[in-house]
Amino acid sequence: MGARTNEPKDFPQHLDLVVVKGVRAVDPSRELDAIVDVVVERGRITRIGADAAPEDYLKSEQACVIDGQGRWLLPAFVDLHAHFREPGQEYKEEISSGLRAAAAGGFGHVCCMANTKPINDTRAVTELMVARAREHGGTRLHPIAAITKGQRGEELTEMADLRDAGAVGVSDDGVCVMSSVVMRRALEYARTFDMPVIQHCEDHGLTGGAQMHEGAVATKLGLRGWPRVAEDIIVARDLLLAEATGARYHVAHVSTEGAVRLIREAKSRGIHVTAEVTPHHLMLTDEAVVGYRTYCKVNPPLREARDVAALRAALADGTIDAIATDHAPHSPLEKECEMESASPGMVGLELVVPVLLELVRTGELPLARFVDALTRSPASIVALDAPRLAEGVRAEFTLIDPEVEHVVSAASLRSKSKNSPFLDRAYRGRVELTMLGDEFAFRGAAAFARGESR
Ligand SMILES: [Zn+2]
């Protein structure tokens, strides 16, 4: 009963006509959740609706027809938080490999953090990142520039210049802006261009030498702990500064119950705060570190079950606005070593769908909220036009098979680095195709595997 699937033999780089037939299209920004046909002509969505694809389109030899039965079509995702290691550490990730990983994960837009080498605190680095990404095509890259020069927490960067060069926000991610004076000035300055200030919330005085979350597991393992309060104290201070300045403040990778409570209260009082959470903080606890698993060393660290519960509830009710990957590629050199010397972080762009669909299936995270937290919501935080499933807009969407069972392995990742504790596990659901404009930025082996014989 599936629609005819037609993949042109000589796969053209630019596709004039693509039809996704009978697919469940979900775009909460327009309250869309229906079985429809979606027609893309020269990179734009021209028709969406039940049986909207004309017969002659479906029969056309030029048409690329995709069987949507049993699949979901979602707006392409927007990631607020990724670390591509170019310039400076291309052995971990290049802009091109990062963008390929992003497309394979369903992402149409990725915001890249400033802790490159050199640090993205000047127009030259921002421009280089934008230029490299344009050369590559596919997923679009949006730099997030540093708040302070050299991420030293002292002198502010030339934010106006950085914004003109393409930066969509500022962050010293990896380190926290510890000085209240500097943070206040940063918020005041960024406010004049309506740019969000994104904080990595960590009171470094409280986390010196920390390897993991401070708690019973750390004690058992004999590792120095990173207490929740080190995050909460910065969130609390910054919310007061955000209130005083009226600036747009964004909390990166929220990990504690306390930070959730503070953000919820601040939102209820109308403070301009937004927040993101990572898939690993939603799915793992500090128990995952048992066995000295360096692949589970992240910053902020994996917390406890009660934090995970608070994060899930906050994402579901919108207190936490967005899902962000904190994609942090590292080579075996930085990971296959002692806990103390291991670099924190894990790759994430290609794991969002397999890892998080479990929460959607159990009903803990409604599908519409899952999609919103990966599309409209993050886009609005950095003032990008969100990908949408609507007639007349540029085609930016991802096709998902929510039921297919598969194993994610290191070999299947496009990312240059393979550091993730989520590998070699069975999952249900994956990205099969990502279309951006008139091109398939990612096309999995199964995207066209359904023939008439099926
Ligand atoms: Zn961070």
- Give me the catalytic one of 27, 172, 326, 372: 326
Residue 146 CA to ligand 1 center (angstroms) comes to 12
Q: Residues 250-308: pLDDT tens digits?
A: 999 999 999 999 999 999 999 999 999 999 999 999 999 999 999 999 999 999 999 99
Residue 327 CA to ligand 1 center (angstroms) comes to 10
Q: Which residues does 307 contact at the CB level (< 8 Å), separation at least 6?
A: 228, 255, 256, 257, 281, 285
Residue 122 CA to ligand 1 center (angstroms) comes to 20
For the CA atoms of 301, 303, 307, 309, what is the dihedral angle to 10 degrees?
110
Whole-number pLDDT of residue 453: 32
**DSSP helix/strand/coil, 402:** strand
Whole-number pLDDT of residue 446: 85
Q: Residues 357-402: pLDDT tens digits?
A: 999 999 999 999 999 999 999 999 999 999 999 999 999 999 999 9
Task: Return the biggest CA–CA distance within the chain.
Answer: 69
Residue 318 CA to ligand 1 center (angstroms) comes to 21
Tell me, what amino acid is at 178? M
Strands (E), 99-153: 107-112, 140-145
Instruction: Report the alpha-carbon distance of residue 324 to residue 158 in Å, rounded.
Output: 26
Residue 319 CA: distances (Å) to CA of 4, 310, 322, 399: 43, 10, 9, 28
Predicted TM-score of the model (pTM): 0.96
Residue 54 burial (CB count, 10 A): 13
Record the tokens describing residue 75, joined without a space: 């707006």
Whole-number pLDDT of residue 56: 93
Phi, psi of 6 (to 5 degrees): -130, 110
State yes or no: is 37 an active-site residue.
no
Q: Sort strands 64-67 and 107-112 into parallel, antiparallel or unpaired.
A: unpaired
Residue 115 CA to ligand 1 center (angstroms) comes to 10
Residue 439 CA to ligand 1 center (angstroms) comes to 33
Residue 220 CA to ligand 1 center (angstroms) comes to 26
In this prediction, the residues of the chain whose per-residue pLDDT falls under 50 are: 1-2, 452-454
Residue 323 CA to ligand 1 center (angstroms) comes to 14
**DSSP helix/strand/coil, 182:** helix
Whole-number pLDDT of residue 1: 40
Q: Which residues does 128 contact at the CB level (< 8 Å), separation at least 6?
A: 87
Whole-number pLDDT of residue 454: 30
Residue 445 CA to ligand 1 center (angstroms) comes to 34
